[in-house]
A and B are shown apart, each in its own frame.
Chain A
Amino acid sequence: MQRAENPSQARGGGGLFPQARKASRNSMIAAAVISVFLLLLPVPQMLSEAGIVRLPIRFDQAFINAAADTACFTLLALGLNIVVGYAGLLDLGYAAFFAIGTYTYAILASSFFDLHVPFWIMLFVSGLVTALFGVAFGAPTLRLRGDYLAIVTLGFGEIVPIFILNLDQLTAGTNGISGVDKPAIGPVIIGANNDNISFYYLGLALIVLIVFFINRLRDSRLGRAWMAIREDELAAATMGINTTTTKLWAFGLGAALSGFAGTFYGAHLGFASPQQFNFSQSVLILCMVILGGMGNLWGVMLGAAVIYLLQTVVLIQLPTWLGNLGKSTNLDFLISFNENVRLTDYTFFIYGIILVLFMLFRPEGLIASRRRKLELHPESEKISDQERQDLYDVRETNQTDTDVRGSQP
């Protein structure tokens, strides 16, 4: 029984990325191109810093800084994807776990209490702490229905920042904790002198590890149980899945990932402040998952990159870019656009539009998970109606059967 449970193993050899093995050659090439691109992304900056080349466009620190933060939010989106995408539980307070992760690192690895636990140990400690919070919070609440659960998590997401703000002996209240330690490998400190490039690579390495882990997890017994619960909780329970434990695993693992991300975030920023973890942060992460594609790893990562870069680079720089374009082409309306419009004022609007339009027209996101797509599209209603009709027909024809087991097709 155990053997046959994992289909990819049954067909001989798991491989690094079972999904990629099944996928076409083209997408493998695409994945390779993207990996090379991501690895080489900081190279222009390195070269220009070393004075080897002069770049036509200014590749300043801020760009790689944003890329390193994108890595952090990718980790968060991957974590939320376990909860929302795999297990189908809407968590609107995910930023609370992120906050707990960041503060765990900031408290135990800064000059605030003069504790300096190494980053690599803290990565696991924060993960464990957030997972414990996730389980402790999830245990009483996960039996609630989907929409109630969303509200309870929202309440939790509101309460945690209030506690962080008010427990000033532990968290320094509104001031936040500054001087958070940077990670170190032996004597070498990563990110010393605002070196964002090494942080970027650290983030990439963490993502690769986590993606490998989640990818294996998805095809495991637990992963399939999550999807079964997402599709039909009652049916899953009937099949012998312990729904409470399974959901708790999703909640705990999702929270643990935000602990990883929080540690990375705290180390990168060198600072933890209660303002960073409000409701809009939870919605931002949710937006990433929805835009990219709930339940699809590649989609979620794409969503995280698109949304984070949209927020930190495009919305801020676009008016300037357009203004420069206007100056060089003498188009007055582009120049006045730059002078009059602050696109950052419309960030919420853009997130809102993304959420609504994607729910209306493409609920499966940019890169769809095949199973999720079937569930989310109203056409699948026809399929389920058909199935129900078939079941009904079977029952009709087996009416004379007195033995219940006999009615199995």
Chain B
Amino acid sequence: MDLPSLAELLQQIINGVSRGSVYALIALGYTMVYGIIELINFAHGDIFMLGAFTALTFVAVFGVDSRNPALHDPVALISVLLITFIFTMLVTGLLGVVIERFAYRPLRNAPKLAPLISALGVSYILQNIGQVWKGPSNITFPDIIPETFIRIPIGEQFLIIRWKAVIIFTISIMFMVLLTLFVQRTKLGKAMRATAQDQTTAQLMGININRTIALTFFIGAALAGAGAILYGMFIKGVQFTVGFAIGLKAFTAAVLGGIGNIPGAMLGGFIIGMVEAMSDTFLETRWTQAVVFGVLILILVFRPSGLLGQRVAEKV
């Protein structure tokens, strides 16, 4: 195997980071839900998938396409993007709340396996909805932002950065900062952290835990919706099965960073994106999935608390 040049290596790192920022957004939903009710929300990946379909429908209805001359005005473009984000995030967020209300809340005191199996069922239901809605084939996302590149010369070669990659990275970092501020600085965020620590005590302090948990699901699912738009803009092809594959990768990211830990999920997302990009280049693409799942198993076996998580004794 030839050693890669510096430019190639940098190129893969950039590809990995931009892909990883989408994983990071989805991983946040897993980590928040796990942090507050210790449930692996299997349906989260499929909420992401339905988010992509919602955005797709919305974009198609309003004829959003980079070839549309009305969108060449940057103000119009930004406002259209903003509306797409708000609409999609509202839809997925509400979907998350509805799922929590009907499939998880009644099982909050049941043995741990019960909500996990229920989540698996919800994931299947959502997948089928996606399949019936948009059909089983791959659907192409229209270009909202025109495809342009930045070329940076390094030695003899060029480092090519897609403008989209920059935008995706910026938007996801923005969401992460907003989320961190929300959880750390607002009263609702404080309620969330309190509920995660001890539900009974939080209740005694006057926190409405049902509402707090519903809010957590809303935010997590809304972030998955945002991730879905970014994914659609970047990767372009969306299929009803995408939720399972992306969901599992995002979950791996959440575990890698330390599940329940918000900065950890972001870090994990970037690392998984990079691992994928490296495996694509240095191994073959057909092994990439196996490498990611291998990472998942190794982390769970050797360091289940993840990179940034603290080792906690199991509640008895």
Contact = CB atoms under 8 A, between A and B. Distances in A.
Contact of A166 (B39, B131, B286): B286
A84 B255 CA distance: 24
Interface in B105-133: 106-107, 109-118, 120-129, 131-132
B103 interface: yes
B29 to A, nearest CB: 16
Nearest to B244: A279
A140 B109 CA distance: 30
A349 B122 CA distance: 9
B109 A346 contact: no
A140 B301 contact: yes
B106 A360 contact: yes
B117 A290 contact: yes
B313 to A, nearest CB: 11
Interface string A324-361: 00000000000000000000011111011111100110
B114 A376 contact: yes
B63 interface: no
B314 interface: yes
Interface stretch (B177-185, B269-277, B289-297): B289-297
Given A234-B316, A376-B111, A156 B116 contact: no
B48 interface: no
B306 to A, nearest CB: 11
Contacts of A144: 300-301, 304
Interface stretch (A48-56, A146-154, A212-220): A146-154
Contact of B111 (A156, A166, A352, A375): A375
Contacts of A92: 120
A202 B196 CA distance: 54
A125 B290 CA distance: 27
B110 A147 contact: no
Contacts of A293: none
A47 interface: no
Contacts of A150: 40, 116
A152 B296 contact: yes
Nearest to A381: B109
Given A141-B301, A234-B316, A346-B132, A363 B110 contact: yes
Nearest to B38: A147
A108 interface: no
Interface residues of B, number: 45
A16 B115 CA distance: 37
Contact of B251 (A145, A151, A165): A151
B176 interface: no
A88 interface: yes
Contacts of A346: 128, 132
A115 interface: no
A363 B113 CA distance: 10
B293 A378 contact: no
B175 interface: no
A363 B114 contact: yes
A228 B263 CA distance: 39
Contacts of B289: 158-159, 162
Interface string A356-378: 10011001000000000001101
Given A147-B116, A166-B287, A152 B301 contact: yes
A363 B118 CA distance: 10
B297 A353 contact: no
B293 A355 contact: no
Nearest to B103: A356
Contacts of B297: 141, 152, 155-156, 159
Interface residues of A, number: 46
A216 B117 CA distance: 29
Interface string B83-113: 0000000000000000000010011011111
A294 to B, nearest CB: 9
Given A152-B301, A155-B293, A346-B128, A359 B117 contact: yes
A360 B124 CA distance: 16
Nearest to A361: B106
A376 B121 contact: no
A283 interface: yes
A151 B255 contact: yes
B294 A159 contact: yes
Interface string B24-63: 0000000000000011100000000000000000000000
B109 to A, nearest CB: 6
Given A152-B301, A166-B287, A355-B118, A158 B293 contact: yes
Given A234-B316, A348-B124, A151 B111 contact: no
Given A140-B301, A162-B290, A352-B123, A147 B112 contact: yes
A351 B293 contact: no
Residue among B116, B126, B132, B293 with most chain A CB within 10 A:
B293
B316 A283 contact: no
Contacts of B128: 345-349, 352
A286 interface: yes
A359 B124 contact: no
B17 interface: no
Interface in A90-146: 90, 92, 140-141, 144-146
A17 interface: no
A163 interface: yes
A273 to B, nearest CB: 17
Interface in B236-257: 244, 248, 251, 255
B120 A283 contact: yes
A371 to B, nearest CB: 13
Contacts of A348: 124-125, 127-128, 131
A140 B114 CA distance: 25
Interface in A365-403: 375-376, 378, 381
B304 to A, nearest CB: 6
Interface string B200-241: 000000000000000000000000000000000000000000
Given A92-B120, A283-B124, A353-B125, 5 more contacts: A90-B117, A159-B293, A234-B316, A352-B127, A354-B121
11 contacts: A141-B297, A146-B112, A165-B286, A234-B316, A346-B132, A348-B124, A348-B127, A348-B128, A353-B121, A359-B114, A376-B111
Q: What are the nearest 10 A-B pairs in CB distance? A: A355-B121, A352-B124, A352-B125, A349-B128, A356-B121, A348-B128, A155-B293, A359-B118, A352-B121, A162-B290
